[in-house]
Amino acid sequence: MKKMKRTVKTNLTAWALLAPSLVFLLTFTVFPIFRSIYLGFTRYELGMMKPEFIGLKNYVDLFGSAIFWKIIGNTVAFSLMTVIPSMVLGLALASLVNHKRKGVGFLRTSFFYPVVMPMIAIASIWMFIYMADSGMLDQFLLKLGMQPMNVLSYKESVKPAMAFMYVWKEAGYLMIFFLSGLQNISGELYEAARIDGATGWTAFKKITLPLLGPTLLFVSTIALTNSIKLVDHIVIMTEGAPNNASTMLLFYIYQQGFAWFDQAKASALTVIMLVIMLAIAMLQFVKSDRKIHYN
């Protein structure tokens, strides 16, 4: 009897302590998900008092629209252009700074500082690097006797230009995860490998990469999520121009909801994005079941 009373009390205490967090998590994470799912099945434009149920029409419209597929294509292309390069670079930088010696502090600082700067500030700076004719890049090309490229104005170059900027910003962030992964690998392994004559690239391939398995998986999830939700720079640099060549999914949600005030379309797009986020999270689970780590 006394024991039961105690568990009731513990239960009450626990839920009371969790209540403040739960209120906010439910109101601004869980409920909005269900609201988006519901509104995705409706028509709800500016001036309408109530949403009107229209079944799958929003999705049918989206899947039938060329712009939607262009934007999905942009988002996938941008992820391909950023995730793998920033991971490779992040790992390279981590290997470079994984030492105790002079200059390493400077290198870590220099690779990581873009992470603590707002994306808005970075985009404002790179705007002038990429600016037509008088921008730093075009000036540099002119000096080399080449034609200015005006990278942000052409559909072929706008995504690679943005991806380049983003890889510069993101590589330092991914670096720190690789760095903590590298520091978990025992130095004795390298010592043993060295005695066997395996150094440099061989040691990297045979020891570092396999042991970094879990880190690689984890970092790829972070990199993919970050790349897909990136939007600030578009507002500053192009607003989706030229001809939607730089519009990504989240920017499209922003346009639908807050420029064209079509909350139902925005909700349907939100649901699509939620499915993508869920799929990325699942990827990590499915794969980590396969035990990649040898430690």
Considering only residues 36 to 75 of the shown chain, the ones binding another protein according to CB under 8 A are: 36, 39
Minimum distance from residue 254 beta carbon to another protein (Å): 7
Residue 190 is a binding residue for another protein (CB under 8 A): yes
Q: In this chain, which stretch among 65-73, 122-130, 151-159, 240-248 interacts with another protein, using CB under 8 A? A: 122-130
Residue 161 is a binding residue for another protein (CB under 8 A): no
What does the block give as tokens for 79?
Answer: 């992820």
Q: In the range 220-249, which residues lie near another protein by CB under 8 A?
A: 222, 225, 229, 231-232, 235-236
The DSSP string of 249-280 is HHHHHHHHHHTS-BHHHHHHHHHHHHHHHHHH
Task: Write each residue from 127 to 146 as x if it is in contact with another protein (CB under 8 A), else as -, in one continuous string.
Answer: xxx----xxx--x-------
Q: How many CB atoms lie within 10 A of CB 281?
A: 12
How many residues line the site for another protein (CB under 8 A)? 100
CA 116 – CA 220 distance, rounded (Å): 20
Q: Are 233 and 123 in contact (CB under 8 A)?
A: yes
Please say which residue, 29 or 147, places its beta carbon nearer to another protein. Answer: 29
CA 199 – CA 147 distance, rounded (Å): 44
Q: CA-CA distances (angstroms) from residue 162 to 113, 131, 183, 203?
A: 18, 12, 32, 35
Residue 216 is a binding residue for another protein (CB under 8 A): no
Q: Where are the beta strands (DSSP E) in the chain?
A: 42-43, 52-53
Residue 163 is a binding residue for another protein (CB under 8 A): no
Contact with another protein (CB under 8 A): which of 52, 67, 186, 242? 186
Task: Write each residue from 9 to 28 as x if it is in contact with another protein (CB under 8 A), else as -, in one continuous string.
Answer: -xx-xxx-xx-xxxxxxxxx
Residue 202 is a binding residue for another protein (CB under 8 A): no
